[in-house]
Structure 1
Amino acid sequence: MLHWASYAFVRLTLALMAGILTCLYFGETLPVLVWPLAGLVGVFLIIQWRMWRHPNPAVADKAGLLALAAVYVAGAAFMQQATESRRPDHLYRFGQKIEFYRAVVDDYTVVRPATYATTVRVSAVRVAGRWQPAVGGIRISVPRDSGVTAPQYGDLWLVRGAPAPSKAPLNPGEFDYRRYLQYHQVYHQQFIHPDQYQRIGIAPPSLLKAAAMRAARVLDGVFRQYVVARREYALASALVLGIKDDIDQETKQAYANTGTTHIMAVSGLQVGLLFGAVSGLLGWLPGRRGPWFRLLTALLGLAVIWSYAFLTGLSASVLRAAVMFTFIIVARASQRQTNMFNTLAVAAFCLLCYDPYLLCDVGFQLSFLAVISIVYLQPRIGAWLDVKNYFLEKQRPWQPKPVQKAWKATSWTLDKVWQATALSLAAQVATFPLGLFYFHQFPLSFLFSNLVAVPISSGAVYVGLALLALKGIVALVGLLSSGLGQALDVVPQAVAWVFEKMIWLFNEYIFWIGRTMPGALISGIHVTAPQAWLVFGIILTLLAFFRLKKLVWLGLACLLMGSFAGSRVWAAHRLAPDEQLIVYSIPRRSVLGFWQGAAAHIVSADSLPLTETERTYRIVPGIIQREARAVSYHTRWRGSSVPALADTAAQPGMVLAVWRGVRVALVSGPLAGARRPVPAEVVVLRRNARVWPEDLAAVFSPAAIIVFDSSCKSWYVESMRKRLQPIGWQLHDVAMQGAFVWQVGSIDAPNR
């Protein structure tokens, strides 16, 4: 008979996750699963009814397996129901026929240097002069022109024009923003000009969330008022409220390089600190062993964490942490916490039933894996060294009292340091494969960073919350007596000074770690999804070996290690002879890449070199994907040894590069004086080159592919398309179709 007692929900959650993953990867081929699910549930209830009347252990086993099958199908069915694009009234069904649409702002507004970005949810569209219901999410951008106010949650808009489907990644290896949006039920994007939309009312989808977001902005105003230094204010708001709008790129990179980015996101750390503070304060009360104390602790704990979730705007990360701690608190209060893994599984099960797409959320994955790893591994790692007793044994009866107290204090302090080290190591074990897969790097300095950063940031959270509470009290007093309120304002000012200095110290320490250990960051790691699963398998089998002491698990771990190493060797072997010419899609730039295996020359045909942002988001992902080791950047061909430049004096307005037998002509000016034929497989038109079809026909072969690079305007591309396409030219627009890739040596060379 199957034993469900301790791990019932662990197995049910795994079955639910398996169903969600099945629908995620094979959803297009699956039928509607609501009726099969209803059938499975009906059969299960009939079996349970018969079991109640006539108990039978053999039938009980089959009922258990049937329950797992039902949960598996339920996972896939929930995923189908949560996918808006399957609905008959989704925006996809209307295409470009939409004349107007009505939508409400349904997300935070991200402030960018030139635009505001947010998400709107459509409620109706007008097609052929008639309004009809519709659903769908659109990621919109609005220019930050004078007179344009930032979109606010709940704003009801009337927008002219049809949104476009989200774009696929434009360059090799680039982050798939389209898939990220789809996981949030957003399938369209649109850049909206100020004269293209009108605010016609306020209708927030959730009044509670609207109030929470306003509360978060009010509290953010307190930090803005009292924390003077801009960098410290930005980090303070992120640390306590989760608002990261004002954090500069340098600070974000410093925290990423030291493995402390999680501190800037309001999540389980802050919620756990609050619950720990409540439990610690209540621990001073008498009679704390009685049932009333458990109930009081649970009620106050729930009130505190959910109040905090409200005051931070009910963001997804803090909601996830609040739900997780809610189940832990309830299980502890009811004394039904037989197994922490089962409690976590209940929390994950409920969250996934509410939104199956949470399984695709990086924060969800990292949070639960880190907590599971801490629960299992932290006590075992902490038991490796008995730091506390080691130093306590150093005490001797003849030693002076100050010496004995010093040994006692040392044992307590170093034991806390060791336990914090064990916790950090435990969290890294489970999240290590995901860190490689999503972020392509691993900070070796994470221990040094977290040992100091976590205590300082934890103290800063308490001080920051105390500042908000004191400011609230002073504001209430100020309503009764403005003079007394102004006099008492010195108290929050003093607390704010301490708060700012703690944030400054925290920030300086992170930057100091980055400067002191610049080589501690291993970056540029590319791990595929199957390889990440292999790493997880290696970790699990090694843990099973240490737990069960059976060689079969060690042998399986070695087999998985061999498979992982073999996959890496095969990938490198397959890549070695690969040669590609790439015309990148980088806004307003002309950039070509000449790739040979793991080496590349990146040439900017413009007079300006690529910026760090352009490299990081457009070029580097492809470098990581190919695990390139020798990449050189060149501006206007200077220092580039790969291409051989032709004599441009004979061909005005054109540069000819020859590489690995591929001839690439870059045209940026008129070809009226260039009537000599030029053999070229690829013709790149740059900077709205003023050329005519007859000029192109006179200079290049009709078999050549015409590529419009990102320096060409959309009106120019459309104009040239109308002239060139009817006469048989092959065309490629990198701004719309993504980077142009020519596979050298392939029969079908263009890979678009």
Structure 2
Amino acid sequence: MIQWAPYAFVRLALALAAGILTYLYIGSTLPPLIVPVLGLMLLYCGLQLWLGRRAAPALLDALGLMALLTVYAAGLALTQQATESRADNHLQRFGSRIEFYRAVVDDYTVTRPATYATTVRVSAVRVAGQWRAAIGGIRVSVPRDSGVAAPQYGDVWLVRGAPAPSKPPLNPGEFDYRRYLEYHQVYHQQFIHPDQYLKMGVEVPNRWQALGMKTARVLDGVFRQYVHARREYALASALVLGIKDEVDQQTRQAYANTGTTHIMAVSGLQVGLLFAAVTWLLGLLPGRRGRLFQFGTAALGLAVIWSYALLTGLSASVLRAAVMFTFIILARAWGRQSNMFNTLALAAFVLLCYDPFLLVDVGFQLSFLAVLSIVYLQPRIVRWLDVQGWFIDRQRPWHPKAVQKFWRANGWFWDKVWQATALSLAAQVATLPLSLHYFHQFPLSFLASNLIAVPISSAAVYVGLGLLVLKGLVAAVGLLLPGVAAWLDVLPQGVGWLFEKMIWCFNEYIFGVGHLLPGALLTEIHLSAPQTWLLFAWIVVMLVFFAVRQLGWLVLAFCLACGLAGSKVWAARQLAPDKQLIIYSIPRRSVVGFWEGAAAEIVMADSLPLSETERTYRIVPGSIQREARRVLYYQGWPAAPVPTRRLNENTLLVWRGLRVALVAGKVARAQAPSPVDVIVLRRNARVWPEQLAAAFGTGAPVVFDSSCKSWYVARQDSILQAAGFRTYDVTMRGAFVVAPRQ
């Protein structure tokens, strides 16, 4: 049996998370909860004070269950209170009536090839000539035209026009960016032209965050100065500061393919390294036994860790590490022993109270699961092999001292390698279901990649931080002795050279592993949410079986495995007879997909090949969702195996009894209409409703594909609807899907 007494916060964190998840699934149907939850809390506190410890064990157990119920209800209420869209003055209440709005830039600015992207928080809107208080977040994009400055944190804007609600996924299986934004309390998006907004001033929402951003830009300038190669500079800034704007897509993909993406992002690894360095440095100071010294060093350690967390943007993984190490430092200062599971659960509890929507943050989930798995599994995996003992057993009393030192050194080295291997294996166990669910791939080369890259990158973090400190000292000396600063600059130059070479080494190693083991990446794996839960349950049950060695747990694990396999077979059986014609929503493109079960032909009607980005983000997610086994791409209709007939610039095709007219030019006159099932207008086809009715009738829906301009769709849509046609715009409403007649 599991002894819950030592894990009080584990129980509370699980109850809080259950309440948050319940709200995310059915929260929109619940009435206001804050008053009932406060009443439940008061009732619990009253019962606890009245009964105390004098109550019978059964009553104490009932009080414990009531405490968990209270925390569960608190999770519901906290998530409800954190949902901005429930407010009466939220942007959603005003819709398209907004004439102007006032907002402040409240996030980092992401620099893209053609735009700047950031988030603004609205404080007021003008509706019908009157200004009204409002709240809400908008994800905005501004073109990177000459003379347009990048948005800065705290800039106050006056913007003309109403923002649009965030778009749902436009193609089957595509990433749900709308839901991602909603979890960050952003419900609108807008592309803002330079003449559409005016900077009115600066009102920093959070001075500490503004200071962290400003400091990060200054420190990024240090790396830009001393790390000269562009790729190495981009990785240096990502590794130490969490700034990934300059990292190219090829490098990102190489790290994803080898399971080392965590190296490229500031996470708990960097905070842990900083914590270890601070602990070691403080341990060198004299007088370590005094109470005042312990509290002083704790305060210094907390200041260093939280300064770094603020500097790197307070991502979910950094927050988890910072909060967890905060409790460890405080426990040490008070002389308390800390249970790592309790500490981890307490960190999760505090963070979820601060922001309940962190629970659905991928970084938060992967970070906590990886640490939980490492804490539990790594010591057990390490005990599989006594590496150091094996080398020590090779020693003999008659061996020279040099030989004995050789055996001991080998034992120490290979024991560290085995511990690192155990750590990497342990981290993968708990994160495997989420990795498959979110990223649809699993790198078999993760051990080979992490064993070398992680130690080098960890050392590089120390060297990078040392470069920043050294540059700061040189700059301080330069203020006092300007003539000496130029001579001292050779020191950061040397450290910068070493830093650049270390980054080059582990970067080349990652690319080398990818080239040497091209088949070590399992891709296009689809796990639905229920299947992910089944895989999690199977892993937990197997861990329990290995812990208690009872056959019943193995039987349960077998049943879960059968359930998982059966769900995959059932999904494949359901999909096998499914046939769909899809007009994809890909900006400025005409792409048609013909799906039959797990096979498809994708035709680019404009005869131009899809870019890798278009294919990866628009087509492949749907292929993974259907677990496609054969997807073929064709440039133009002549190469495609679909029967077609060309009429000038237009194409008539018949697929599985489904008749489709793709119209890109004038429609030829016809004595009698030839009915079709779908009419697709391409490339701003100059046609009139009477021409379409004469050629194809009015029964078929008219679909504007993504090659049509917005002004054209706006004009033609009203004209066609007035003539009795049904219309569909894939740019606004997503891909058009139709099934052939059975």
Name the TM tier (shorter chain): over 0.9
Match for residue 750 of structure 1? none
1:734 to 718, 730, 733: 730
RMSD of aligned residue pairs (Cα, Å): 1.5
User: Which segment is superposed worse, 347-356 or 476-485?
Assistant: 476-485
Question: What is the CA–CA distance in structure 2 between the aligned matches of 1:433 and 1:289, rounded to whole Å?
Answer: 46
Contact 2:668–2:695 (8 Å) recurs in 1 = no
Say if 1:4 and 1:257 are closer, same or farther in 2 by CA, change over 3 A.
Answer: closer
Is 1:720 the equivalent of 2:716? yes
- 1:102-150 residue CA offsets vs partner (Å, 9 max, x unmatched): 0000001111111111000000001111111100000001111111111
Question: Could you say what secondary structure the match of 2:697 adopts?
Answer: coil
| TM-score, with length taken from structure 2 | 0.98
The amino acid that maps onto 2:684 is: N
Say if 1:693 and 1:184 are closer, same or farther in 2 by CA, change over 3 A.
Answer: same
- 1:484-512 residue CA offsets vs partner (Å, 9 max, x unmatched): 00110000000000000000001000000
Contact 2:672–2:695 (8 Å) recurs in 1 = yes
Match for residue 305 of structure 1? 305
Match for residue 241 of structure 1? 241
Within-5 A mapping of 1:175-194: 175-194=175-194
Question: What is the CA–CA distance in structure 2 between the aligned matches of 1:54 and 1:289, rounded to whole Å?
Answer: 40
Within-5 A mapping of 1:484-633: 484-633=484-633
Contact 1:263–1:457 (8 Å) recurs in 2 = yes
| TM-score, with length taken from structure 1 | 0.96
Contact 2:669–2:691 (8 Å) recurs in 1 = no
Contact 2:125–2:132 (8 Å) recurs in 1 = yes
Is 1:151 the equivalent of 2:151? yes
Is 1:372 the equivalent of 2:379? no
Match for residue 438 of structure 2? 438
Question: Could you say what secondary structure the match of 1:679 adopts?
Answer: coil
- 1:406-463 residue CA offsets vs partner (Å, 9 max, x unmatched): 1111000000000000000000000000000000000000000000010000010000
| Superposition deviation, residue 637 in structure 1 | 2.1
Within-5 A mapping of 1:314-463: 314-463=314-463
- 1:369-406 residue CA offsets vs partner (Å, 9 max, x unmatched): 11110000000000000001110111112112221111
Question: What is the CA–CA distance in structure 2 between the aligned matches of 1:313 and 1:456, rounded to whole Å?
Answer: 24
Contact 1:6–1:338 (8 Å) recurs in 2 = no
Is 1:645 the equivalent of 2:641? no
Question: Could you say what secondary structure the match of 1:473 adopts?
Answer: helix
Say if 1:153 and 1:463 are closer, same or farther in 2 by CA, change over 3 A.
Answer: same
Match for residue 681 of structure 1? 677
Match for residue 694 of structure 2? 698
Contact 2:90–2:135 (8 Å) recurs in 1 = yes
Match for residue 749 of structure 1? none
Is 1:66 the equivalent of 2:66? yes
Question: What is the CA–CA distance in structure 2 between the aligned matches of 1:733 and 1:225, rounded to whole Å?
Answer: 49
User: Which segment is superposed worse, 472-481 or 572-581?
Assistant: 472-481
Contact 2:443–2:522 (8 Å) recurs in 1 = yes
1:657 to 645, 653, 657: 653
Question: What is the CA–CA distance in structure 1 between the aligned matches of 2:469 and 2:78, rounded to whole Å?
Answer: 42
Contact 1:378–1:423 (8 Å) recurs in 2 = yes
| Superposition deviation, residue 482 in structure 1 | 1.9
Contact 1:96–1:163 (8 Å) recurs in 2 = yes
User: Which segment is superposed worse, 400-409 or 126-135?
Assistant: 400-409
The amino acid that maps onto 2:694 is: A
Contact 2:317–2:367 (8 Å) recurs in 1 = no
Question: What is the CA–CA distance in structure 1 between the aligned matches of 2:460 and 2:590, rounded to whole Å?
Answer: 47
Question: What is the CA–CA distance in structure 2 between the aligned matches of 1:315 and 1:425, rounded to whole Å?
Answer: 25
The amino acid that maps onto 2:590 is: S
Contact 1:278–1:297 (8 Å) recurs in 2 = no
Match for residue 164 of structure 1? 164
| Superposition deviation, residue 292 in structure 1 | 6.1
Contact 1:16–1:71 (8 Å) recurs in 2 = yes
Question: What is the CA–CA distance in structure 2 between the aligned matches of 1:333 and 1:674, rounded to whole Å?
Answer: 89
Contact 1:337–1:343 (8 Å) recurs in 2 = no
| Superposition deviation, residue 330 in structure 1 | 1.9
Match for residue 670 of structure 1? 666
Match for residue 142 of structure 1? 142
Question: What is the CA–CA distance in structure 2 between the aligned matches of 1:723 and 1:357, rounded to whole Å?
Answer: 44
- 1:162-207 residue CA offsets vs partner (Å, 9 max, x unmatched): 0110000000000000000000000000011111100000001101
Within-5 A mapping of 1:6-45: 6-45=6-45
| Superposition deviation, residue 607 in structure 1 | 2.7
Say if 1:53 and 1:450 are closer, same or farther in 2 by CA, change over 3 A.
Answer: closer
User: Which segment is superposed worse, 366-375 or 48-57?
Assistant: 48-57
The amino acid that maps onto 1:346 is: L
Contact 1:212–1:314 (8 Å) recurs in 2 = no
Contact 1:440–1:524 (8 Å) recurs in 2 = yes
- 1:613-667 residue CA offsets vs partner (Å, 9 max, x unmatched): 00000000000000001000000124321x1011x2xx32211111111111111
| Superposition deviation, residue 297 in structure 1 | 4.8
Question: Could you say what secondary structure the match of 2:519 adopts?
Answer: helix
| Superposition deviation, residue 301 in structure 1 | 2.5
The amino acid that maps onto 1:508 is: E
Question: What is the CA–CA distance in structure 2 between the aligned matches of 1:502 and 1:210, rounded to whole Å?
Answer: 31
Contact 1:259–1:443 (8 Å) recurs in 2 = yes
Question: What is the CA–CA distance in structure 2 between the aligned matches of 1:315 and 1:85, rounded to whole Å?
Answer: 23
Figure out how many residues of one structure are paired with residues of the other and give that number: 741
Question: Could you say what secondary structure the match of 2:200 adopts?
Answer: strand
Say if 1:337 and 1:53 are closer, same or farther in 2 by CA, change over 3 A.
Answer: closer
Match for residue 472 of structure 2? 472
Question: What is the CA–CA distance in structure 1 between the aligned matches of 2:312 and 2:355, rounded to whole Å?
Answer: 21
Question: What is the CA–CA distance in structure 1 between the aligned matches of 2:55 and 2:433, rounded to whole Å?
Answer: 46
Is 1:111 the equivalent of 2:111? yes
- 1:289-320 residue CA offsets vs partner (Å, 9 max, x unmatched): 67566545533322221222233344454233
Say if 1:475 and 1:675 are closer, same or farther in 2 by CA, change over 3 A.
Answer: farther
Contact 1:40–1:66 (8 Å) recurs in 2 = no
Contact 2:119–2:140 (8 Å) recurs in 1 = yes
Say if 1:477 and 1:638 are closer, same or farther in 2 by CA, change over 3 A.
Answer: farther
Contact 2:118–2:151 (8 Å) recurs in 1 = yes
Match for residue 101 of structure 1? 101
Structure 2, unaligned runs of 5 or more: none
Question: What is the CA–CA distance in structure 2 between the aligned matches of 1:379 and 1:290, rounded to whole Å?
Answer: 33
Question: What is the CA–CA distance in structure 2 between the aligned matches of 1:405 and 1:293, rounded to whole Å?
Answer: 39
Say if 1:678 and 1:243 are closer, same or farther in 2 by CA, change over 3 A.
Answer: same
The amino acid that maps onto 1:645 is: T
Question: What is the CA–CA distance in structure 1 between the aligned matches of 2:471 and 2:181, rounded to whole Å?
Answer: 39
Question: What is the CA–CA distance in structure 2 between the aligned matches of 1:319 and 1:371, rounded to whole Å?
Answer: 13
Question: What is the CA–CA distance in structure 1 between the aligned matches of 2:466 and 2:16, rounded to whole Å?
Answer: 42
The amino acid that maps onto 1:248 is: D
Contact 1:328–1:344 (8 Å) recurs in 2 = no
Contact 2:328–2:338 (8 Å) recurs in 1 = no
Contact 1:213–1:314 (8 Å) recurs in 2 = no
Question: What is the CA–CA distance in structure 2 between the aligned matches of 1:130 and 1:391, rounded to whole Å?
Answer: 81
Within-5 A mapping of 1:141-290: 141-285=141-285
| Superposition deviation, residue 343 in structure 1 | 1.1
Question: What is the CA–CA distance in structure 2 between the aligned matches of 1:541 and 1:352, rounded to whole Å?
Answer: 27
The amino acid that maps onto 1:37 is: V
Percent identity between matched residues is: 69
